[in-house]
Amino acid sequence: MRILVVNPNTTQSMTQTIEAAAKAVASTSTEIVAVTSSMGPVSIEGYYDEVFAIPGLLLEIAKAEKGGAQAAVIACFDDTGLDAARALATIPVIGICEAAVATAAFIAQRFTVVTTMERSRLPLEHLVHRYGMGARAKVRAADIPVLSLEDPSSDALPRLRAQITAALHEDKAEAIVLGCAGMADLAAELSHEFGVPVIDGVSAAVKHAETLISLGLTTAKRGAYASPVEKPYLGLMEVFSPTHMAAG
């Protein structure tokens, strides 16, 4: 099996964290292809950044599908461009927020997502609600920039720990979901430290991608995810028209 894992932000070092997490859990028969988007913001913090991360992400998915990938994982916790990717691709596409909350739901009745920036809290609440977990999961923000997770001198980790503590006591969370791809390397350590399951979306998404491949399931192309209609795209966006994307 070949699974594409795209980091939709353009920060190479974060892709390394993501790739390590993906490879650590992949089956021996799975080839993980981790790529960094070639265009867009260096981190995705809120609605505006998200818009400009999607074109590069979709390019990578289209390219990988043509190259034989059997599933794709979008490695940003706001599940950047997930609906458009599902309309574009015929292979299954999984977002790491979606994968993480689906996984948490198998092992806990109540859980809390701890993310980075306050401005991402409501977008994640919308996602959690859409994935059917609005009554089971809370979302907390540690108020830390995404890239500070890569900076050992920052106070990112203490702030993250403080929110986990609050989740356990105030939300009575039974498990914790890490709400950023950049936290993919922290799950095991934090789970050990706090004595509760801690779920990373990247590794969860890789396993769910393997599941869909094994089950022979691909995105339903009837309804909301029907393939894009052929039509002209003008100006700077011309290269993203369904025809261009199909041509590669």
Residues numbered 142 to 201 that lie near its own copies (CB under 8 A) are 145, 168, 172, 174-175, 188, 191, 196-197, 199
Q: Which residue, 18 or 207, has its beta carbon nearer to its own copies?
A: 207
Which residue matches tokens 């999961």? 137
**Within positions 40 to 69, which residues make up the interface with its own copies, using CB under 8 A?**
40-43, 45-52, 54-56, 58
Q: By CB under 8 A, tell whether 219 contacts its own copies.
A: yes
C-alpha span between 34 and 55 (Å, rounded) = 17
DSSP 163: H
- In angstroms, the CA 116 to CA 75 distance is 15
Of the two residues 16 and 218, which places its CB atom closer to its own copies in the complex?
218
Cα 143–chain centre separation = 19
Q: How many Å apart are CA 36 and CA 43, to the nearest integer?
A: 12
Q: Give every CB contact of residue 242 below 8 A, 6+ residues apart in sequence.
A: 88, 227, 228, 229, 230, 231
Residue 133 found at the interface with its own copies (CB under 8 A): yes
Q: Which is nearer to its own copies, 34 or 212 (CB)?
A: 212
Is 247 among the residues that bind its own copies (CB under 8 A)?
Answer: no
Alpha carbon 105 to its chain's center: 17
From candidates 17, 60, 98, 138, binder to its own copies by CB under 8 A:
98
- The interface with its own copies within residues 2-21 (CB under 8 A) comprises 10
Q: Which stretch binds its own copies (CB under 8 A): 120-128, 148-156, 157-165, 177-185?
A: 120-128
Instruction: Identify which range of 102-110, 156-164, 178-186 contacts its own copies by CB under 8 A.
Output: 102-110
In the list 67, 68, 134, 248, the residue contacting its own copies (rule: CB under 8 A) is 134
Comparison of 100 and 160: residue with beta carbon closer to its own copies = 100
Number of residues near its own copies (by CB under 8 A): 98
Q: In what order do the strands lie in the sheet containing 31-36?
A: 31-36, 2-7, 71-74, 93-95
Q: Which of 3, 69, 102, 160 binds its own copies (CB under 8 A)?
A: 102
Give the residue among 132, 147, 141 at the shortest CA–CA distance from 160: 141
Interacting residues with its own copies between 23 and 42 (CB under 8 A): 25, 27-29, 38-42
d(CA 181, CA 97): 9
Q: What phi, psi does 217 have (nearest 5°)?
A: -100, 135
**Secondary element (H or E) of residue 120:** none
Question: Exactly one of 14, 64, 86, 184 binds its own copies (CB under 8 A); which one?
Answer: 86
